[in-house]
Chains A and B, each alone.
Chain A
Amino acid sequence: MSNSKSTAPILAGVVGFFDDPSSLLDATKKVKNSAYKEFDCFTPFPVHGLEHAQGLKRSKVPYVTGTFAFTGTTLAFLWEYSASKVWWPHIIGGKPFNSLPAFVPIMFEFSVLLGGISTLFAMLYFNRLPNLKKRAFDPSITNNRFAILIENPVVDPHDDDEPKVHFSPEEAETFLKSVGAKDTRKVYEEGWF
C-alpha cells in the first residue's frame, strides 16, 4: 500500500479479509476474546450484531440530539414569547400576547431543526469525520469484502508506567488466518492526500 519510500512507513496494524458477514462475525468474537484489544471491523454495510461481537458501547449520538432538540423547543418559545409579548406587544386577531397554541408549530419545527443539525455534527464528531489522516486500506471494503484490522498499539515512549506491549505483525497475521481470514496483510499509516 505504502507508496512513499522516502520516509520509513509506520505500521498501523495487520488486516485480515473475509468474504461474507457471518464469517466476519465469528472471527470478530474470537478476536474480542483474544489478547488483541485494539481492533476494528470494516464492512461495506452495517452488519447486524457486529457491534455486540466487537463489544462496542451504545452510540452517544441520541443524547446530543435530545439535548439540542429540547434546547430548540425552549429557545423557540422564548423567542416567540419575547417578540410577541416583551419587545413589541401587538394585538393581532384578538389573541393574547402570549398565544401558546399558536407558538407550538414553530417550537416543534425548531426542535427538529436543532436536533437534526446536532445529530449530523455529533455523528461526525464521534466518528472523527472528516477523516484526512487515515486512508482506506483497500477499495474492496466499500464494495464486497469484510475486514478486521488489528491495530499496532500506540506506546507513549515517555510513559514508563505503561506496560510495553510486544506487537508482532507476523503473529497477528497468523492469528487472523487461524480465525478464518482468507487473506492478510500489513497496513501502514497513510493519509488521503
Chain B
Amino acid sequence: MATIANSGIEKPLNEALVTGAKTFADVNNDVSRPLESFPTKIWWICFITAMVVFSIGAGAVLDAFEKGLGVLGLNQPIGWGSYIITFVFWVGIGHAGTLISAILFLFRQKWRTGINRSAEAMTIFAVMTALLFPVIHTGRPWLAIVWLFPYPNQRQLWVNFRSPLEWDVFAVSTYFTISLIFWYVGLIPDLASIRDRAKNKIRKVLLTVASLGWRGSNKNWNNYEAAYLIFAGLSTPLVLSVHSVVSFDFAVAQLPGWHTTIFPPYFVAGAIFSGFAMVVTLLVIAREVFGLKHYITMDHLEKMNKIIMATGMLVGYAYAIEFFIAWYSGSAFESFTFVNRAFGPYWWAYWTMAVCNVFIPQIFWIRKMRRSVPVMFVVSLFVNIGMWFERFVITVTSLHRDFLPSSWKMYIPQLHDWLTIFGSFGFFFIWFLLFVRFLPTIAMAEVKSVMDQPQKGDAHV
C-alpha cells in the first residue's frame, strides 16, 4: 500500500483496498460462499423475471420475422432506427469492463482488482446482447446472417473492405473474442481455488477441467503474468478502436450531423461513461446481495463515480463543440441539423440526453453524494437512459429532416421496437445472473495480491 511515511502524514494515501481486516482465506470463503449454496429466493425471482422479459422480446422478434420488418417504425428517410440505436447502446455498455481490466491495469490502478471480474463479465454479456441486433435486423437471419461474414460469393465477389460496416464486423467480433479470452485467463486461478474447495465429485471434475489443472506453480505464474500484461496491452488500443469504428458507421457517411471528425473520441468517452454507469448499477446491487462490501468498498464506488463525472463532462464538451463546429463551418445544412436537433420536433430527446448525461452527474462534485449508494444508483440509471437517448438523437435527428422538405418524416418507434429493446435487457440479465451464480464475482488471486499482507518484511508488494 502506498503510504507517505516520510512526509509526516500518517494517513495512507488511499483507504485499504480491502477493509474489515480480511485474511487470504477469508477472501476465498467470502467470494466462494454464494457459489456453494443453492440459489436464494431473490436470485430465482430475478432470474425468472429476466427470462420473462427475454421471452417477451423474443416473441416480438419472432413476430417481426413472421410479418416482416415493416412492423418497425422505420420509414423513408429514416432507414436506421431502434436496432442500431440499441446496438450502439449495448456495445457502449461493454466498454467499461475492458477499460477497468486493461487500461487501469496498465496505469497500475490497484483498486481495479475488486471490480474487474464482474465488469469484464458485463462487457462480454453486453457485447453478446449488442450482437443480437445485427442478426435481427437482417429480417431473415437464417438466410442473411452469413452475409455479415467476410467470404466471397460463388463468383469471387468479396465483401466491401472499404465499408465501415465491414470494419465493424471485425472490430466487434475481435473485441468479443479478446475480452472473452482475457476474462477466461483471469478466471483460471480462481476456478482452481473453487475446485480445491469443492466437496461434490462432479463439481470437482468440472472445475478441474475448467481450471485446466492449474496448480499455482510459479513457473506458470511467470508466463501467466506476461500473457496478462500483453492482453492488457492489446485490449487497450482495441477498446478505443471498437467504439471509434462504431462511430465510423456514422461519421464516414456524408450526412450533416454524422459527418464529423469528433465522433471517434466522443463515442469512446460516451461508451466509458455509459459502461461505468452500468457497472455502478450492477455492483451496488451485487455487493449488497452477496455481502461483498469489504471488497467492493465505498472507495471503489467513489472512484467510479469520479470517472462517470469526468467522462460525462467529456461528453458534454463534445455536445458543445458539435454546435460550435456546425456554426463555424459555415455550412447551412450542418447548422440547420444542429439547431433542429436541440429545438426541432425532437427537442425533448435532445434535452433528455443533455440533462441525464451532462447536468445530473454534476452532483458528484459533492463528496457526500459520491459516497451515497441511493444517489449513485439513481444517477447511474439516469446516465443509462441518457446514453440511449444520445444514440437516438444522433441517429434519428440526422435522418428525419432530409435535404428535400418533401421527404421530411418523423420516426416513432413501434411496439416491436420497444419490446425488442425491453427483451434485450432480459437477455443481458440472464447471463449476468448465471455468472454471479456459478463463477467467482471477485478476482480472488488479484485481490490477494493487493491486500495488506501478513508478512514480516517491508510492505511493498
A168 at the interface (CB under 8 A from B): no
B164 CB contacts on chain A under 8 angstroms: 105
Contact A23–B455 (Cβ < 8 Å): yes
Contact A59–B223 (Cβ < 8 Å): yes
Contact A130–B238 (Cβ < 8 Å): no
A46 interface neighbour in B225, B241, B453, B457, Cβ under 8 Å: B225
Contact B24–A116 (Cβ < 8 Å): no
- B73 CB to closest chain A CB (Å) equals 29
A62 CB contacts on chain B under 8 angstroms: 226, 230
Known pairs A43-B218, A143-B196; A123 contacts B234 (CB<8 A): no
What per-residue 1/0 map shows which CB atoms of B118-157 lie under 8 Å from chain A?
0000000000000000000000000000000000100111
List residues 145-179 of chain A with CB under 8 A from any CB of chain B: none
B28 at the interface (CB under 8 A from A): yes
Contact A130–B212 (Cβ < 8 Å): yes
Contact B196–A65 (Cβ < 8 Å): no
Residue of A nearest to B157 (CB): A88
B3 at the interface (CB under 8 A from A): no
B213 at the interface (CB under 8 A from A): yes
- A129 CB to closest chain B CB (Å) equals 4
B457 interface neighbour in A22, A41, A54, A141, Cβ under 8 Å: A22
List residues 217-264 of chain B with CB under 8 A from any CB of chain A: 217-227, 230-231, 234, 237-238, 241, 245, 248
List residues 177-196 of chain B with CB under 8 A from any CB of chain A: 177-178, 181-182, 185, 189, 192-193, 195-196
- B255 CB to closest chain A CB (Å) equals 14
What per-residue 1/0 map shows which CB atoms of B83-113 lie under 8 Å from chain A?
0000000000000000000000000000000
Contact A84–B162 (Cβ < 8 Å): yes
Contact A83–B171 (Cβ < 8 Å): no
B425 at the interface (CB under 8 A from A): no
B303 at the interface (CB under 8 A from A): no
B67 at the interface (CB under 8 A from A): no
Judged by DSSP, the binding face of B is helix
B182 CB contacts on chain A under 8 angstroms: 116
B189 interface neighbour in A41, A48, A112, A142, Cβ under 8 Å: A142
Known pairs A22-B455, A141-B216, A143-B25; A110 contacts B170 (CB<8 A): yes
Contact A110–B218 (Cβ < 8 Å): no
Contact A20–B455 (Cβ < 8 Å): yes
A132 CB contacts on chain B under 8 angstroms: 213
Complexed CA–CA distance, A132 and B212 (Å): 8
Stretch in B4-12, B271-279, B443-451 touching the partner: B443-451
Contact A129–B178 (Cβ < 8 Å): no
Complexed CA–CA distance, A134 and B379 (Å): 51
Contact B217–A144 (Cβ < 8 Å): no
B352 at the interface (CB under 8 A from A): no
Residue of A nearest to B164 (CB): A105
A44 at the interface (CB under 8 A from B): yes
Interface centre among B25, B160, B212, B222 (most CB of A within 10 A): B222
A50 CB contacts on chain B under 8 angstroms: 218, 221
Contact A109–B230 (Cβ < 8 Å): no
Contact A59–B222 (Cβ < 8 Å): yes
B171 CB contacts on chain A under 8 angstroms: 105, 109
List residues 50-73 of chain A with CB under 8 A from any CB of chain B: 50-51, 54, 56, 58-62, 65, 69
B197 CB contacts on chain A under 8 angstroms: 139, 143
List residues 16-64 of chain A with CB under 8 A from any CB of chain B: 19-23, 25, 40-48, 50-51, 54, 56, 58-62
Complexed CA–CA distance, A106 and B162 (Å): 10
A106 CB contacts on chain B under 8 angstroms: 161, 166-167, 170
- A42 CB to closest chain B CB (Å) equals 5
- Interface residues, chain A, CB within 8 Å of chain B? 19-23, 25, 40-48, 50-51, 54, 56, 58-62, 65, 69, 79-80, 83-84, 87-88, 90, 92-93, 95, 99, 102-103, 105-106, 108-110, 112-113, 115-117, 119-120, 122-124, 126-127, 129-132, 134-137, 139-144, 192-193
Known: A22-B457, A59-B223, A130-B213. 14 other contacts (CB 8 A): A47-B221, A56-B222, A65-B230, A65-B234, A83-B159, A84-B158, A87-B156, A93-B162, A131-B213, A132-B213, A136-B196, A139-B196, A144-B23, A192-B208
The 5 closest A-B CB pairs, nearest first, are A131-B213, A59-B226, A144-B24, A139-B196, A83-B158
